[in-house]
Structure 1
């Protein structure tokens, strides 16, 4: 290295001190929070591929809708003039994102009894009628008022303008994970519960169009089914559909013997009025699943909790009339089947992911966007992997000579790992380089301490 002149010595010293401070902070954090131990070199996971193509990378490039779907959606909005469309789109988007699970009757009764005791003790002179009125008023102020959305022709168009592209992006990301990890999987049948505008059908056709021969779209709204059918026909009432083999129904197939290779419920569980209804639907969907059940909700605490409840219901095996005896396991995103560490933390967080997409270019909708969502993919059978790699659950922070990764690990814990060029670059450069090119939602090809045999080498400073 060339000799630094006196004029440049002071800035260089400042940078050196800053680097030492960052290194000390990284070492302290790595010591406080258990980090990753070694790259999974045992399975020769790279082969001859470069680090930027390691098999844990599952990120999907910015999604763009098929031209036929974009053109059909734009045509439908031109044909049907909806007043204040941009404002209605924003209002519906905000409403759907802030949606909470409806309060169960038992919980509502408990809250009413607590309020009655509290208000009654504060003012014992009021009559029973006034006390009931005060309790009802307090309940209305403090309890989330859930209402079922009824989609008529107008609201269906607003939903299409607000959610068609984002929903397509989230489902495409889920399909991409299955196709990347199991490229030989070629489904022939698919069922979409709560199909709405049919974004699942379009995403599935873009992913497995060569093998899929039957798409079953189920939605309780006749207006939504009609809109989805028109989108498939280019926005018209007649003509040949862009995707062949699509069938529409307002109710789930009655026969319990009918199974589908892939079953999807995207942003639909939050539209069910009670826990009993959700339990019944999840059991029915799982019973109709022969390979993969994909559940997607908003990337909020409420959406994540709904998915974890569904995950636990399937894993515990409470299935009515199990015609398919194969057990279920979590295919993604969890690397374990233990309680979700995000929910059991002192401050619960939503386990969510993000997918970039190009929106339908309406007049108000031209900038690239990100869809934030939670998902769980359940599969029948037994996992083939001998072990699971940790999942990156937050955006990767890349800093000079070190990387911050938040990992959900196979032992059921969340770890904040600081992977440095010094500690993981000299002897384990694969780990540092893999972490450097990984993103939110990827798998990091690494063995965590719980998966390693105990050895003196693990306790050394360089491990």
Structure 2
């Protein structure tokens, strides 16, 4: 090891090596001053932002004292270096080259003194300081008197510390800005760094001096960074991984981040969790986006399709389901596309289906049917409760389920529900052990579809057609004394996308009534599902109306008048117990279905949405390159036969239940005798989440569509849950205001927007032909129809006022309307 003297000599030699590059040669620029006698370029730029020339980064409380200590050391070095360059006023003015050479000689002579000063500052002991000095020596920056004086002026203004400028710089300052005020530094503040008390703070006394301020400082936080509080700023939020990723994406896109959605994530302990009744009313799967299981759905379908060409399957799907995008499959095209609302061309009950048609059915329809049916089954299981599904599992031979029109996709969704419930019932269930799925029956009319469904479903029966129980006698008659034939009964009947295919309304009613007869009279559940379009909703609403009118008893309606041939020959039919499980929480007339049959121009209709991930084979058929998910829209109805929870559990579904729901059940932590989810309103549209409030469009237990508003001031818990609510949820926490919502239900057998525009275009074309040919002018005058105004065409460059354009169009509309009325009268 080196001795202390050897180490000192080594440091001195290293210091000389560092100082040599700092000595300017002829034509070189003066180095910048900094904390140890130089100011780096970065420090020069920051001088205008600092209150003083800071040697080190210090807390605000001691910045002035540290500044003046550093300034005193800087002043000493500055005077040492500037005295060598100051010219003798008595001698003739030397040239610039002589001045530079003289400065170089003086620096060389004072090299040992400068090294000693650096040793006192402990700059040579720290390798980081040595590297910093090397960077400063290599970096260098141009120096001029004007730049330095301007920098001091910007930093200190008219009052500058003593020693900040030498004589030459002071003269230049005076010539540029006027005589400055020299401020002396007190001896207490010029004390050495080792003698400085870090806990002393000085301020100006208003008389050109300084006075000390007493303050208390926490010793534990002495080395911490200063904390600055902004009373108008929001409290600091700890950034999570999700927030960091969002911020990075926002910076790339040039957008802003609304931090409101991250408040609960950042500080979960200070934010309320979802209310138990809110969680109970959720209409969603877990997770919210359905990923079709590979083992039971996508894997077997991929194996089946692997034997055929992808191009041939895609061509067949496009030919059957309306071209690219498959608008006539389970996919719901947007309303702006104005596509005809046609049923799905392929039906599971049809007897003739080729190989490629069966492949297209499995590839294009199975994913959508599975996702929508699974979403409905999850909601039915929530509303019916755990006892219902576990009772089906525990009964002899398990539940008996019929897929009436899904080709087997509904059975796959049902088995996933059973599997999830069984894993909860038997936590230690070994993987691969049998699960009590019960008995499954699938309607498949063609051999090609039956083979593909049987490859995915084991222990499943297949029917070529449904039995007809509508036209079969229920008991012996006078003509036939034999007992009635034995009927098949099912605990759950699922019929997706089956009603829209019927042309006449009476055919749909017979079909639904036949499905009702297939249900177990002791609690069987029927699920009907159609596409989320106007026609699909009308089919579901018609089936609901028929079941409530003929079969399901209510306290105010227990009988049904069946008119056979004439009003004189009527038969009173007693209704049976039953209830609507979902989505309705009322048994009155549907507020969105005010008339039987299809209506044109309808804008409001009850439907819901479920997102699922498209499998790869469906992505290829759709021709999608980026988005791999789909939001499938559907209208559905779930009813139970033979049992009525309204009577068993005292569920209220009337205006009183609506008023109670409006007041809210936030005070309840769990359901009680006065509360049940089936007495809550349901959101029939996505909630409108505005700034400071949330708007719900709810179908109430009284059978009305109302708009409820939940502002921030209403309740912290209710507002938080409202921000997290989704389309289809049951709302239990009340609201502040409620008003009836206006509905656009169209006009029965009237013309829609498309027909109206087409008629207007035809009228205009006919009027142009009449004006051009002039053949019918005499007839119009005779009939009194010549009142159509003759509006001259706009010439090129002519400016017609807007009010005149509007007036001319109004006259034309009135004239065409009068002509149409006259033609209809004829």
TM-score (norm 1): 0.67
What corresponds to 1:195 in structure 2?
406
CA distance in structure 2 between the partners assigned to 1:394 and 1:374 by the alignment: 12
CA distance in structure 2 between the partners assigned to 1:162 and 1:447 by the alignment: 42
CA distance in structure 2 between the partners assigned to 1:67 and 1:336 by the alignment: 39
SS at match of 1:284: helix
In the alignment, is the contact (CA less than 8 A) between 1:51 and 1:437 conserved in 2?
A: no
Matches within 5 A, 1:72-83: 72-81=300-309, 83=311
What corresponds to 2:609 in structure 1?
354
CA distance in structure 2 between the partners assigned to 1:390 and 1:261 by the alignment: 28
Pair 1:316-2:549 in alignment: yes
From 271, 290, 311, the equivalent of 1:63 is: 290
SS at match of 1:342: coil
What corresponds to 2:719 in structure 1?
432
What corresponds to 1:294 in structure 2?
527
Q: Shift of the alpha carbon at 1:96?
A: 3.8
Pair 1:392-2:622 in alignment: no
SS at match of 2:328: helix
- Taking a change above 3 Å as real, the CA distance of residues 221 and 349 of structure 1, as seen in their structure-2 partners, is farther
Q: Shift of the alpha carbon at 1:84?
A: 4.4
In the alignment, is the contact (CA less than 8 A) between 1:256 and 1:287 conserved in 2?
A: no
What corresponds to 1:343 in structure 2?
593
In the alignment, is the contact (CA less than 8 A) between 2:275 and 2:721 conserved in 1?
A: yes
What corresponds to 2:214 in structure 1?
none
From 271, 274, 278, the equivalent of 1:50 is: 274
- Taking a change above 3 Å as real, the CA distance of residues 74 and 303 of structure 1, as seen in their structure-2 partners, is same
In the alignment, is the contact (CA less than 8 A) between 1:82 and 1:154 conserved in 2?
A: no
What corresponds to 2:453 in structure 1?
228
Q: Shift of the alpha carbon at 1:88?
A: 4.1
- Taking a change above 3 Å as real, the CA distance of residues 287 and 354 of structure 1, as seen in their structure-2 partners, is same
Pair 1:218-2:451 in alignment: no
CA distance in structure 1 between the partners assigned to 2:695 and 2:734 by the alignment: 17
In the alignment, is the contact (CA less than 8 A) between 1:343 and 1:349 conserved in 2?
A: no
CA distance in structure 2 between the partners assigned to 1:400 and 1:318 by the alignment: 46
What corresponds to 2:709 in structure 1?
418
CA distance in structure 2 between the partners assigned to 1:228 and 1:298 by the alignment: 23
What corresponds to 2:313 in structure 1?
85
Alpha carbon RMSD of aligned pairs, Å? 3.5
From 379, 396, 406, the equivalent of 1:177 is: 379
CA distance in structure 2 between the partners assigned to 1:355 and 1:146 by the alignment: 20
- Taking a change above 3 Å as real, the CA distance of residues 282 and 449 of structure 1, as seen in their structure-2 partners, is farther
From 227, 252, 255, the equivalent of 2:466 is: 252
In the alignment, is the contact (CA less than 8 A) between 1:148 and 1:273 conserved in 2?
A: no
In the alignment, is the contact (CA less than 8 A) between 1:317 and 1:327 conserved in 2?
A: no
CA distance in structure 2 between the partners assigned to 1:446 and 1:294 by the alignment: 29
| Larger CA Rg, structure 1 vs 2 | 2
Between 365-374 and 260-269, the greater mean CA deviation after superposition:
365-374
CA distance in structure 2 between the partners assigned to 1:146 and 1:329 by the alignment: 28
- Taking a change above 3 Å as real, the CA distance of residues 62 and 410 of structure 1, as seen in their structure-2 partners, is same
Q: Shift of the alpha carbon at 1:396?
A: 1.9
Pair 1:281-2:532 in alignment: no
- Taking a change above 3 Å as real, the CA distance of residues 377 and 51 of structure 1, as seen in their structure-2 partners, is same
- Taking a change above 3 Å as real, the CA distance of residues 55 and 148 of structure 1, as seen in their structure-2 partners, is closer
Q: Shift of the alpha carbon at 1:449?
A: 11
SS at match of 2:462: strand
Q: Deviations 1:14-58 (Å, cap 9, x if unpaired)?
A: xxxxxxxxxxxxxxxxxxxxxxxxxxxxxxxxxx97327521112
What corresponds to 1:459 in structure 2?
none
CA distance in structure 2 between the partners assigned to 1:55 and 1:360 by the alignment: 31
* Aligned residue pair count: 350
What corresponds to 2:669 in structure 1?
none
- Taking a change above 3 Å as real, the CA distance of residues 450 and 49 of structure 1, as seen in their structure-2 partners, is closer
In the alignment, is the contact (CA less than 8 A) between 1:51 and 1:433 conserved in 2?
A: no
What corresponds to 1:378 in structure 2?
639
SS at match of 2:530: strand
Q: Shift of the alpha carbon at 1:74?
A: 1.0
CA distance in structure 2 between the partners assigned to 1:312 and 1:330 by the alignment: 11
- Taking a change above 3 Å as real, the CA distance of residues 277 and 221 of structure 1, as seen in their structure-2 partners, is farther
- Taking a change above 3 Å as real, the CA distance of residues 84 and 148 of structure 1, as seen in their structure-2 partners, is closer
CA distance in structure 1 between the partners assigned to 2:487 and 2:706 by the alignment: 43
CA distance in structure 2 between the partners assigned to 1:369 and 1:343 by the alignment: 28
Between 407-416 and 380-389, the greater mean CA deviation after superposition:
380-389
CA distance in structure 2 between the partners assigned to 1:256 and 1:377 by the alignment: 26
Q: Deviations 1:109-131 (Å, cap 9, x if unpaired)?
A: xxxxxxxxxxxxxxxxxxxxxxx
In the alignment, is the contact (CA less than 8 A) between 2:519 and 2:526 conserved in 1?
A: yes
- Taking a change above 3 Å as real, the CA distance of residues 360 and 256 of structure 1, as seen in their structure-2 partners, is farther
SS at match of 1:79: coil
Matches within 5 A, 1:265-280: 265-280=495-510
Between 203-212 and 434-443, the greater mean CA deviation after superposition:
203-212
- Taking a change above 3 Å as real, the CA distance of residues 249 and 341 of structure 1, as seen in their structure-2 partners, is same
What corresponds to 2:418 in structure 1?
208
SS at match of 1:280: helix
Runs of 5+ unmatched residues, structure 1: 6-47, 100-142, 233-240, 452-463
SS at match of 2:708: strand
- Taking a change above 3 Å as real, the CA distance of residues 205 and 300 of structure 1, as seen in their structure-2 partners, is same
- Taking a change above 3 Å as real, the CA distance of residues 180 and 147 of structure 1, as seen in their structure-2 partners, is closer
Q: Shift of the alpha carbon at 1:310?
A: 0.8
In the alignment, is the contact (CA less than 8 A) between 2:694 and 2:722 conserved in 1?
A: yes
Give 1 or 2: higher strand fraction. Answer: 1
SS at match of 1:247: strand
CA distance in structure 2 between the partners assigned to 1:2 and 1:63 by the alignment: 46
Runs of 5+ unmatched residues, structure 2: 1-228, 234-271, 333-339, 393-398, 423-435, 469-484, 553-561, 563-572, 596-600, 654-678, 739-826
SS at match of 2:695: strand
- Taking a change above 3 Å as real, the CA distance of residues 294 and 147 of structure 1, as seen in their structure-2 partners, is closer
CA distance in structure 1 between the partners assigned to 2:505 and 2:612 by the alignment: 33
